[in-house]
Structure 1
Amino acid sequence: MKRFFLSAVALTALAAPAFAADMPARTYTKAPIYTPPQAIYNWTGFYVGGHLGGAFAGNNSLEGNSGRFLGGVQGGFDYQFAPNWVLGIEAQYSWMDRNTTNFGFPGATVVSSTGANQLGSVTGRLGYTWGPALVYAKGGYAWRDGNGLGVSVAGVPAGFTTNGNTKDGYTVGAGLEYMFAPSWSAKAEYQYYNFGNTTFTGGPAPVVGSRFNSDEHTVKVGVNYRFGWGGPVASKY
């Protein structure tokens, strides 16, 4: 029995090198290269913010073409889809300082316009985004507080009537918005407001039949805070 055991051990020792030579060599696998997560900017969500800028009446306007300071607030909701398009709705309200513009007519008649000092709008907007930037166009309903008209003859106030809708109108605009920090974005925007035309239908003879535009051009810069949605988010593997 002892002799059999020793013979088996010797046979195993002789066979081991030959078996090892027949085994395939181990292949070397290189470790994958680490790729840092990329930032994904998500525009979906609610936001509120504020803006500052200037307003300029158009040609042939009762307010003249002098500029006025404005400031206000805005808020809205955006939805990002497909995947670089952004669809949203926004409400905006602006305050402006008043100005007084006098127009002389034959017969020493003067029309005085103190100008509207409030502008509002509710608009839809459609934009295209790449990374932290969003370029967009907007349009919708516009409102203002009136045009503060007054007519006087030789310094004495005179009665008058007008037609046309001076409070309700439409607005269109375009802008660029940029996410500069998580949940924070800054924007620059042009917006045009049109409230139709105003025609004097009654009053002193020199003003009757006179027609004026009722519009505003505005340029604004602003900041928005996005409730937990905006800003870079690390992508998943």
Structure 2
Amino acid sequence: MKKILFATVALLVVGASAPAIGADLGARPYYSKAAPAYAAPIYNWTGFYIGAHVGGVFSSDNNFNGLSTGNNGNGRFLGGVQAGMDWQVNPNFVVGAEAQYSWLSGSVGAVFPGGVAYTNDQRGLGSITGRVGYTWGPGLVYVKGGYAYSDNNEKVTVGGVPTGFIISGDHSNGYTVGAGLEYMFAPSWSAKAEYQYYNFGDAHFTAGPLVGTGNFTTDDHTFKAGLNYRFNWASPVVGPY
């Protein structure tokens, strides 16, 4: 116990005498050092992402050659999911690819002369697109385009009674173009708003030799707001202010 006490006292003595020894040696010269420069983050858009969206879809008013329509041209609700990947090729340009699917509410249709009614309970819209964008830090404005798919569920009735029909023309596969704005509001999270147009071409249906025929164009205008979670390949880097 005495040894421990002695060692403790000795350490205290040495510690107390250190400033005096330092004073004898003279003060260290002071070198002025500038404060470190502020470093602003450089946002990184490279990586995979998944997300969801909601919005509305509007079909063109002239889809059925101006004939009496049901809720064609009126707004319907949509909601869906998306997944994609981006590559920031330089500080201001981003290229990428995206797959998207939206479920739709309601249906579109038309009533033709003779009591012939066509209805499409359009269940969904899908797309696989490329996109190119310009970024300034957290913001990204982009254009997109590529393949589009319409999940159609069609029927023809005469006087309210379902009847057989034939449709010529592939109006399930087409093209899509669009544009949007995306903003990275937190690490790994971004919000977007976009317009996307889908076109599936012209089609012609025949509902029996004595019943009726019709021509129509299937296209849709959509407006979406969405949220993405990003799995970045690399963490954001830091550059000089």
TM-score normalised by L of structure 1 = 0.79
**Residues 202, 100 of structure 1: alpha-carbon distance in 2 compared, 3 angstrom cutoff:** closer
1:165 aligns with 2:167: no
Deviation at 1:194, TM superposition (A): 0.6
Q: Which amino acid aligns with 1:68?
A: R
Once the two structures are superposed, the pairs formed by residues 195-234 of structure 1 within 5 Å of their partners are 195-201=200-206, 203=208, 205=210, 207-208=212-213, 210-229=214-233, 233-234=237-238
Partner of 1:91: 99
SS at 2:194 equivalent: strand
Once the two structures are superposed, the pairs formed by residues 114-153 of structure 1 within 5 Å of their partners are 114-152=120-158
Deviation at 1:104, TM superposition (A): 3.8
* Native 8 Å contact 1:184 1:231 kept in 2: no
Partner of 2:72: 64
SS at 2:39 equivalent: coil
1:111 aligns with 2:150: no
Which of these two proteins has the greater Rg computed from alpha carbons?
1
Q: Which amino acid aligns with 1:89?
A: A
TM-score normalised by L of structure 2 = 0.77
* Native 8 Å contact 1:103 1:112 kept in 2: yes
**Residues 129, 157 of structure 1: alpha-carbon distance in 2 compared, 3 angstrom cutoff:** same
> 1:149 and 1:203 mapped to 2: Cα distance?
13
Partner of 1:12: none
> 1:193 and 1:173 mapped to 2: Cα distance?
9
* Native 8 Å contact 1:120 1:142 kept in 2: yes
Structure 1 vs Structure 2 CA RMSD: 2.4
Structure 1 unaligned blocks of 5 or more: 1-27
Identity %: 54
- Stretches of 4+ aligned residues off by more than 2 angstroms: 28-34, 59-63, 98-102, 154-160, 200-208, 228-237
> 2:57 and 2:41 mapped to 1: Cα distance?
37
Deviation at 1:34, TM superposition (A): 2.9
Deviation at 1:157, TM superposition (A): 2.7
Deviation at 1:112, TM superposition (A): 3.0
1:191 aligns with 2:196: yes
Deviations 1:173-231, CA, capped at 9 Å, x for gaps: 000000000010000000011111111245355632x3111111110000000014588
**Residues 198, 44 of structure 1: alpha-carbon distance in 2 compared, 3 angstrom cutoff:** same
Aligned length: 206
Once the two structures are superposed, the pairs formed by residues 69-88 of structure 1 within 5 Å of their partners are 69-88=77-96
Partner of 1:55: 57
Greater Cα offset, 34-43 or 217-226: 34-43
Structure 2 unaligned blocks of 5 or more: 1-29, 65-70
> 1:68 and 1:135 mapped to 2: Cα distance?
26
> 1:113 and 1:124 mapped to 2: Cα distance?
32
